[in-house]
Structure 1
Amino acid sequence: MTVAQSEVTLDEFEAFDAAAPDGFHVELINGRVLVTPAPDGDHDENVMYIGDQVRERQAGLRMYQERGLVVPAYRAGRARVDGAVAPVGYFRGQPSWSDPSGVLLVVEVTSGREQDAEVDRVDKRDAYAQAGLPVYLLVDRHRGEVVVHWEPEGGRYLHSATALFGAKLHLPEPFDFGLDTAELA
């Protein structure tokens, strides 16, 4: 479910976030309040599968699940990302809504509802580019594909590549390896 409001202040968002019932995530993306149910098991397995591959190749990095990031863009924003790859210990001492400057890769997995997938495909992609997050990886369960976007400039990603589930997808620097997508679903 998405709740759209024209001008939501951070104070209003924080009050709404605090009042949200258990099992729901509340985000503020491009001035809109987004409310989504907590992820299902397949969703979590996808994030862990990607995180395991990153860790195998770069021991100093970890996939942190369900992290809240400040994504300032042109409006104040808050995104609860499915996965954030950062150096070990990066989030230690940070608040619930953390500074994204040390995050190297953000992962989103589309929810079980097709109508919610456009938020991950467009709104979050643009917010992450505007926030300068170096790499955005989308696992699109509805299309059966993985899309990587990288090199943010001027509020947009300059490059992207797509692979169908089962094919390898090359992740750009600082990762520089072929992501195995065989177990994504």
Structure 2
Amino acid sequence: MIGRLTGLIAEKAPPLVLLDVNGVGYEVDVPMSTFYNLPNLGERVTLLTHFVVREDAQVLFGFLTAAERETFRLLIRISGVGPRMALSLLSGLSVAELAQAVSLQESGRLVKVPGIGKKTAERLLLELKGKLGPELGHAPVAVASEAQADVLQALVALGYSDKEAAAALKALPADVGVSDGIRMALKSLSK
């Protein structure tokens, strides 16, 4: 319904921003990642928004980047995760950090965010797996050769995490063959 607002910042009180759009003041809740990057009071800003209508309230959530808004929308689709919890997650972790935590299945990073318990963190990791694209996550593991890329792919296919596979790959000689590389990597991972 309301997808974007451009106006002057009239007030800032975390996580709330009052945006003056041609004389109409919109109260917009923003994650701290957006809040810290807002310009000063009286300056112009454009926020991408997500409008939530409930029985008891109508709330606008604002974001400086499309990646933040898209991640927010992914989060609120998960059972048990409401807009406030999604805002809290985006305040505690950047989109890239969240994508990395999901790709590496690190529930410990999510539990550090206020309001996120162990069960919620595990559900988030499960629900978001594969949905936060590589453009939002960590950089791909650097491989020295095509053989090492094949070894990495084989380890991931065997169920090892990206982090474990990358650590095993670092221990391999650069000129290793695929079959020898897999054997050596499995040996180092079994220790």
Which bin holds the TM-score, normalised by the shorter protein?
Answer: under 0.3
| TM-score with structure 2 setting the length | 0.26
Q: TM-score, normalised by structure 1?
A: 0.27
Query: Which structure has the highest helix share of the two?
Result: 2
More strand by share: 1
